[in-house]
Chain A
Amino acid sequence: MKFKLFGNLAYDLRRNKALMAMVLPVVAYLLVFAYAPMVGAVIAFKSYNFTSGIFGSPWVGFNNFRFFFISGKAWQVTKNTVLYNVAFIATQNVLEITVAIFLSEISHRYFKKITQGAMFLPNFISWVVVGAIAYNLFSYDFGFINNVLTSLNAPKIDVYTTAKYWPHIFVFLSAWKHVGYGSIVYLAAITGISSEIYESAALDGANEWQKIRYITLPGIQSTFFVLLILAIGNIFRGNFDMFYQLVGNNGLLYNATDVIDTYVFRSLLTTYEFGMSSAIGLYQSVLCFVTLIITNAIIHRVSPENALY
């Protein structure tokens, strides 16, 4: 196996110099920016200091990990990350599939184009801008929502100091930003279903709901599974941009809003705990890797044609 690998590389270096040159930039880039940090991840087992660098710093075994787990933070941020992702996957898939089914049944071309465009617009802007939008909506003094509440004689809500609102806000804003994208994916899958199936179902007297239940939903099943595996493979990865832009360094909300990624980022940039934050990063990478392998193996067994690799 190994022998063959070197044989192949040697062959291509001799006979396919141009093709080798074509992959070289990406291979070199990944060696530096992806594989070197994997080696550098050894600082998770070290007490890092600047003067000795990554390889000169003393080994501390699993101390960095132990510290993270004893502090209770490990459980909290992992739980937040997973629960948020589960909520996002569930709400967004339901919304995306509903939007896609409805759009596929609408025949006005311009209506379809304009509404689809509007729904994709939130995907187009950065989370920085979403942060500004959220402030505009939720600010205690001037926010639109509080404005509406006041005019209804309801008490104002103080979103930026109250943790309990945030799960709802994140689920809403995440759906707001992503449903347009996902519905295009599902719409493409629905368009791929042969129209003959629908026609013969109509001849047999199937109504709209039956067509959806027995033709459309089974037809988009494999798309759903592919998206699901990808989402589950990333279930331990928080959407850093969203959590950081909406909450930032607002310590009052950490209990409800801190995910692994924001925690690592903060301990890197504000407390400079390189050893511990890289331990958390490594813990996250290993969790993601293992989950993806297991999910893919299960899918391989249940329905091999939907497996990722």
Chain B
Amino acid sequence: MNRNKNGVYLSRDRKAFNALAYTFIVLITIICLLPFWLVVIGSFTAESEIFSRGYSMWPHEFSLEAYQMAFRHPDEVFRAYGITVSITVLGTFLSLLMTTMCGYALQREDFRSRGFLTMFVFFTMLFNGGLVPWYLLITNYLHLKDTYWVMILTPLVNVYYIILMKNFMRTVPKALIEAAKIDGAGEFYIFFRIVLPLVKPALASIGMFVALGYWNEWRTGMLFLQEKSLFPLQYYLYRLLNSVEFLKNSTVVMSAEISSLSFPSESLKLAMTVIATGPIICLYPFLQKYFVKGITIGAVKG
């Protein structure tokens, strides 16, 4: 028998179990990471090598040509970045504000309409009118096509987060609110000064998911945007990857002033993917704990 690091004896089935557990987890981890590796390596592979040998785990010849090209006139990418950052910041702020205020009011026991209003909010999770009436509303009635605000508005309210927030708000001691009321504090003062600081963990976690939703949004762009200067990052990337015409007409390629046939289209696509995704992935290790916490809040049924 062996001892583990705590000096506890490990039985044989425990050892077999551990071996299986570690192998399985390592295997899944490799499968999860391998595609990322392939994209990064592909973006550093010379175009000629991609054509002759295809994508591989490790290139015979490293090349920066795709990145050099991407960064020669990076204004389009940077503009798409700017738009995505700004809609993410503004959208997350507005969304969190609305979500927390609503969640807070809906769990206040002296708020008599809370039952009806909760049903009103929850029902939209069970039933919706479908894509087409929603699309017509936004384009023909609200005239939001090709506007900046359409990207803020479409993902703004997620009812699931309101319900989560409402449940989390229950952890705020009622006595605290009562005491503040007796001292003459107004409802908004109580909400912003007393309640919000106490639900910071939920704010951070839900905020992360809202922000991620805004960051990864591309469908809104596809449905409502034709104006290239408004394209958010993911939709811009989608267009580059899926339309050769769009790629050829982008400043990235046009600036190269070479015949449209000879630009490194394959590695350039991957390089653009890395440029669009890399920075946010670098942030990921610092954000991981908020996501895990956010999922865990959701896992506890309220």
Contacts and interface: CB of A to CB of B under 8 A. Distances in A.
Interface residues of A, number: 107
Contact of B129 (A126, A277, A281): A281
B301 A37 contact: no
A285 B127 contact: yes
Interface in B231-282: 234-235, 237-238, 241-242, 266, 269-270, 273, 276-277, 280-281
A23 interface: yes
Contacts, number: 295
A185 B32 contact: no
Contacts of A171: none
Interface string A124-165: 111111011101110101111011001000000000000000
Nearest to A179: B28
Contact of A43 (B32, B105, B133): B133
A67 to B, nearest CB: 15
Contacts of B112: 8, 11-12, 16
A11 to B, nearest CB: 5
Contacts of A200: none
A166 interface: no
Contacts of A185: 295-296, 298-299
A199 B113 CA distance: 48
Contact of A124 (B117, B131, B280): B280
Contact of A142 (B156, B186, B266, B281): B266
B59 to A, nearest CB: 12
A102 B25 contact: yes
Contact of B102 (A23, A32, A264, A309): A23
Interface stretch (A77-85, A86-94, A115-123): A115-123
Interface string B82-113: 00000000000000011101101110101111
Contacts of A228: none
B242 A248 contact: yes
A105 B234 CA distance: 38
The 3 closest A-B pairs by CB, nearest first: A281-B130, A40-B133, A18-B187
8 contacts: A23-B106, A54-B133, A103-B25, A124-B291, A128-B234, A179-B28, A208-B14, A233-B126
